[in-house]
Structure formats: structure tokens, C-alpha cells
Amino acid sequence: MSIRTLDDLLAEGVSGRRVLVRADLNVPLDKQTGAITDDGRIRAVLPTVGALVEAGAKVVVCSHLGRPKGTPDPQFSLRPVAGRLGELLGAPVHFAEDTVGDSARSTVAGLADGQVALLENLRFNAGETSKDDAERGAFADQLAAFGDAYVDDAFGAVHRKHASVYDVPARLPHVAGRLVLREVEVLSRLTGQPERPYVVVLGGSKVSDKLAVIEALLPTVDRLLIGGGMCFTFLKAQGLEVGTSLLEKDMVETCCNLIERSGGKIMLPVDVVAADAFAPDATHDTVRVDGIPSHRVGLDIGPETVAGFAAALSQAKTIFWNGPMGVFEMAAFANGTRGVAEAITKADAFSVVGGGDSAAAVRALGLDESSFGHISTGGGASLEYLEGKTLPGIAALEN
Ligand code: 3PG
Ligand code: MG
């Protein structure tokens, strides 16, 4: 495994050279106003982009945003991101109105040394996500024409076999950016010899999304704490009734199996906050998990569960957390996520927060980011890394 890094590229000298940077600027936008609600992913690429600017490169940044279907869709435009990136860099970012068309060509051609351009959303082009190698390749050819070298700093997208992630590095001299390097360094501490006890907290809505990582983690972790919407399928697997809470019926059997095989490592909630509706002002009470009323929906873990999880976390030397414990966007159902997050910051442990939602929760709840060991910019990517899967974006850098 030999991955060349940004420092190697800088050592060669990049002044006057065009450097194509794949970033993950897939930031959450306010549904009404379109404003960026969390700019964490933009901030995360500043070390790489800033170093290239400083070194006098012509920096061509590309990214996806959301999941448009291979054709331009204004609600997923990267234009607001160009504005924010420019503010953070302290210099304007030239925005191309298309990804590989006339606007992109003239924008890139017009760059002076040390200037930055952002191309329009990669996923406005069917070739970006195509399963067809030739179609992806043709798009990669067009992208690669904008760079003399390629830097991958899009950790959040390294698990995608997409043109900008997988095929472009096959066409240009390629290196890993600072963010990708740091993420891989940190996550490899978790897959290597984590200091014990190693406690993992998983939340979020779907068991099916987390199944592979649960399977992969069970043999390695000391404790697996499960909250969030997905806990109800596990509770059902224990024979409990969960009212109108989120339930993946076809996963009940699997959860049953996981609990049996876990040798007591899996810890489930003992109480939850149950509401009469999925709404910020819904009537709600804390109930024991064996007493969830049939007409109520569980929207958060309860205080006794938080205390139990906190006790387990206080013993930990290594912690990985992915997924909120409840509907933290609504104040009434944010206590579980806040309680667990605070317990993680108090533990004398190396802690990693993985995932866009959990990272956004940390910031939305006003928690001090620096009291976590590392906040990953990758959700799916960090989970797949921990599963031990080969990540196409990393594999492409190794060649
Ligand atoms: C993410 O938000 O997880 C990454 O940006 C990847 O986006 P995707 O899941 O749409 O590929
Ligand atoms: Mg995602």
C-alpha cells in the first residue's frame, strides 16, 4: 500500500499547474431558503485547498451535492457552496455553471496561479455515477482534461465507485489530500488494535443500513449500544411491543439472531420517550420499553437508558459513535443524543464521531467539537471502512 500524498505533490512543485481536487462538499441545505445549514464539510477541505492556493496552483474543485439524477437540477446547484468556500478562503471562488461544458472550460482556462474554481455538481452528468465503465470513463476523460494532477480529498465519497472518485485517478498523477489522510489514519486506529474497552454507539433510523457494520463489529467490540429509530426493531426482536415506532418487520429475525450471537455485548434501551405524533409539540412521556402504548411512537431514548449508556461509555478507552439516538432536530427529543454525546466527551477515551448526521448533531446541539477525538466527514464511508470493505476511492489512490 503506497499512497502518495499532497505533500509529495507539493514537493514536486505545483506553481502554475492545474490541480483537480475531488472534494465532498455535499452539505445540508435548508429546504425553504436553500441556505447552507452546516458548513463542516467545506471547512474540512480548507487545509488541502489552502495549501494548493499558497503553492500557486490553479485549483479546480469538483464535488457532488445531493442525489440529482444525472441531469441539471437547480435545487442541487453548488453555487451557494462556491460563495461559502470563497468566504472561508478569503478570496473569490470562480463558479462554473456546468461541470465539463463551455462554462467549465472557460472558467478553468481563465484561472490565474493561486486561484480557485468550483465546477457545477458532478451528478448533473449521468457519467458520474454510471454502472457502465465506458460511460463513466468518457466522463472521467472530460474531467481529467481540467487537471495536470488529481487530489482526492472527498473522504465522504471514497466508498462510491464514481467517475470523479475512481476513474479520474487512473488518468492523472494522483495523491490523497489532507482530509482523506487524516480520516484513514484515525479510522485505522479503530480497525487495528483499539485500546479496550472499545464501545460503539449506533443510532439512526434503519437497521438494514447498519447490518453489515454490526456484523463486522460484533467480534471486535466490547459493547455495542443501540439507540435511535433502529432500536425498535431490536426491541421487537425481544418480544416487546413498540406501538407505532419505526419498525423493519423483515429485520426482526435478523436482530433476534444478532442479540443471541452477541454474547451480551448488545445493550438496548430500557426506557424511551413515546409521543402521540411525530411533531415537535407532540404530547410525550417517558415509558419503560415493556410499556410502550400501542398508539404512541418512540422518538428518543429515555433518561435511564442515557444513564446506562453513559456508564458503559465512562469505562471505554475507545469509542465510535454513528447515528443520533432520537429525533434531535426537535428539542423535546434531543436529550438522548445530547446525553450520549456529552458522555462521550467526558469519557477518558479516544472518540470518533462518524457520519454527516451525527457530526451535524454535535454542532447543532452546540457541543464542543474539540472535545471529541475526531469527527469524520464520512457517514457511509466511515462505516464501510470499519466493515473492512475495499473503498474504491482509496484503492484508486493505491495504484
Ligand atoms: C454523504 O453525504 O454520505 C456523501 O456525500 C456521499 O453521498 P451519497 O450517499 O449520496 O453518495
Ligand atoms: Mg450518505
- 199-256, pLDDT tens digit by residue? 999 999 889 889 899 999 999 999 999 999 999 999 999 999 999 999 999 999 999 9
Q: Beta 223-226 vs 266-267: how paired, if at all?
A: parallel
Tell me how crowded residue 275 is: count the other CB atoms within 10 A of its CB.
Answer: 25
Which is the closest atom of ligand 1 to the Cα of 157? 6
Give the rounded distance of the alpha carbon of 31 from its chain centre. 20
Atom of ligand 1 lying closest to residue 24 CA: 5
pLDDT at 224: 98
Ligand 1 pocket check for 28: Cβ under 6 Å: no
Q: Are the CB atoms for 142 and 119 separated by under 8 Å?
A: no
Q: Is the CB of 156 under 6 A from ligand 1?
A: yes
CA of 383 to the centre of ligand 2 (A): 11
Residue corresponding to grid cell 479520474:
168
CB atoms closer than 10 angstroms to residue 3: 16
C-alpha cell of residue 223: 459493547
The band of 358, judged by pLDDT with boundaries at 50, 70 and 90, is confident
Q: What is the pLDDT of residue 11?
A: 98
Shortest-distance atom of ligand 1 to CA 162: 11
Q: Could you read off the pLDDT of 152-211 as tens digits, one per residue?
A: 999 999 999 999 999 999 999 999 999 999 999 999 999 989 999 999 999 998 898 898
Closest CA to 121 of 36, 30, 19, 27: 27
Distance 165 CA to ligand 1 centre (A): 12
Q: How far apart are CA 177 and CA 258, in angstroms?
A: 38
Query: Does 24 sit in the ligand 1 pocket, CB within 6 Å?
Result: yes
Cβ of 22 closer than 6 Å to ligand 1, yes or no, is: no
Cell numbers found for residue 279: 411533531
Burial-class residue 241 by CB neighbours within 10 Å (0-12, 13-18, 19+).
Answer: middle
Q: Measuring CA to CA, which residue among 43, 82, 84, 44 is closest to residue 60? A: 82
Lowest mean pLDDT among 63-72, 89-98, 364-373: 364-373
3-state secondary structure of 110: coil
As beta bridge partners, residue 215 has: none
Closest CA to 116 of 174, 39, 46: 46
Query: Which amino acid makes up residue 240?
Result: L
**Which ligand does the CA of 377 lie closest to?**
1
> Given the C-alpha cell 490553479, which residue does it identify?
58
Give me ligand 2 centre to Cα 81, in Å.
Answer: 18
- Residue whose CB lies within 8 A of the most ligand 1 atoms, among 26, 45, 353, for a mutation test: 26
Is pLDDT of 31 > 90? no
358 or 130: which carries more pLDDT confidence? 130
What are the backbone angles phi and psi of residue 298, rounded to the nearest 5°?
-80, 125
Q: How far is CA 253 from the centre of its chain?
A: 28
CA dihedral (191, 196, 201, 202) in degrees, to 10, reads: 30
The residue contributing the CA closest to ligand 1 atom 4 is: 156
The pLDDT value given to residue 353: 95
The three-state secondary structure class of 59 is strand
- Backbone φ, ψ for residue 10 (5° rounding): -65, -35
What is the number of the ligand closest to the CA of 382? Answer: 1
- 243 vs 123: CA distance, rounded Å: 40
pLDDT at 277 over 70: yes
Active centre residues (catalytic): 41, 206, 356, 380
- Give the residue-averaged pLDDT of 28-55: 94
354 lines ligand 1 (CB under 6 A): no
Say yes or no: CB of residue 356 within 6 Å of ligand 1.
yes
Query: Once rounded to an integer, what is the mean pLDDT over residues 320-340?
Result: 96
* Mean pLDDT within 302-309: 98
1 falls in which pLDDT band (50, 70, 90)? low
Whether cis (ω within 30° of 0) applies to the bond prior to 293 is no
- Ligand 2 centre distance from Cα of residue 42 (Å): 16
The pLDDT of residue 356? 74
Q: What DSSP designation does 56 have?
A: T
Residue 59 identity: V
